[in-house]
């Protein structure tokens, strides 16, 4: 059976942006399978009004494209305003592999996030940027082509995945700072050995706090 038009449109928008349906579901504060069921199984039959408006604003499209009645104004989903934050998408990328040479941090567009969603997670928009993951050393956590939201950090290191500048290379790794005077950069893909370095040689840029990826 042919997929209903709003469901197909949502799937097309997600694929164009390179974001998974489960990530979009989390953006709505829903179960990760919520939009997958909507698109593939037709359940729910239609999106709730708030969810539809949130997705329309995220993608910068009319709510009508996602199944809204024609009387809903196109200006309602124009994609800008105080409820939304445009986070810069940096050109450099970060390597989950041998290492990407840092060629600068020039913005090449933005990704739009709900201000409420960021606030619920305690994230300061001024401290955020997004970058693309390159390579497979962080699989299965991060895959080549995934987009990660990075929160710039200062102070003591926290658990989690971090973006690190080592010499002129940018890496995305887990960090182990438990040994005095040493910092270990760990890949989730065990085919890649840990990288041990002097903490003074590594600049921890930020912590990955969210990811999107291709379906």
pLDDT at 97: 60
What is the DSSP annotation of 52-98?
HHHHHHHHT--GGGGT--TTS-GGGGSS-STTEEEEEEESS-EESSS
pTM: 0.59
Return the domain boundaries, the chain.
Answer: 5-77, 84-212
84-212 has the same fold as 5-77: no
Kindly report the CATH class assigned to 84-212: mainly beta
Quote the CA–CA distance of 20 and 120 in Å, as a whole number.
21
Q: What pLDDT tens digit does each residue of the chain (215 aa) get?
A: 345 688 999 999 988 888 889 888 888 888 889 999 999 888 888 888 778 878 887 888 877 788 876 533 333 334 445 678 888 887 656 655 655 444 455 556 778 888 888 888 899 888 888 888 888 999 999 998 888 999 988 767 777 899 988 877 888 999 998 888 899 999 999 999 999 999 888 888 889 999 887 66
Question: Which residues, at least 6 apart from 199, have a Cβ–Cβ distance to it below 8 Å?
Answer: 177, 181, 182, 183
Identify the CATH assignment for 5-77 out of 3.40.50.720, 1.10.260.40, 3.30.465.10, 1.10.10.10. 1.10.260.40
**Per DSSP, what are the bridge partners of residue 100?**
170
Peptide bond into 44 cis (omega under 30): yes
């Amino acid at each position: 059976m042919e997929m209903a038009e709003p469901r197909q449109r949502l799937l097309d928008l997600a694929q164009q942006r390179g974001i998974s349906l489960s990530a979009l579901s989390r953006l709505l504060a829903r179960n990760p399978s919520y939009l997958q069921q909507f698109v593939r199984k037709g359940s729910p039959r239609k999106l709730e009004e708030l969810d539809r408006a949130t997705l329309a604003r995220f993608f910068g499209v009319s709510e009508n494209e996602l199944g809204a009645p024609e009387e809903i104004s196109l200006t309602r989903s124009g994609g800008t305003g105080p409820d939304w934050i445009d986070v810069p998408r940096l050109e450099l990328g970060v390597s989950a592999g041998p290492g990407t040479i840092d060629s600068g941090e020039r913005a090449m567009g933005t990704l739009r996030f709900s201000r409420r969603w960021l606030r619920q997670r305690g994230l300061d928009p001024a401290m955020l940027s997004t970058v693309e993951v390159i390579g497979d050393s962080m699989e299965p956590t991060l895959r080549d082509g995934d987009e990660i939201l990075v929160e710039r950090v200062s102070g003591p290191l926290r658990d989690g995945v971090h973006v690190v500048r080592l010499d002129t290379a940018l890496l995305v790794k887990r960090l182990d700072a438990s040994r005095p005077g040493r910092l270990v950069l760990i890949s989730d893909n065990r085919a890649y050995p840990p990288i041990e370095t002097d903490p003074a040689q590594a600049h921890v840029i930020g912590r990955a706090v969210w990811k999107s990826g291709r379906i």
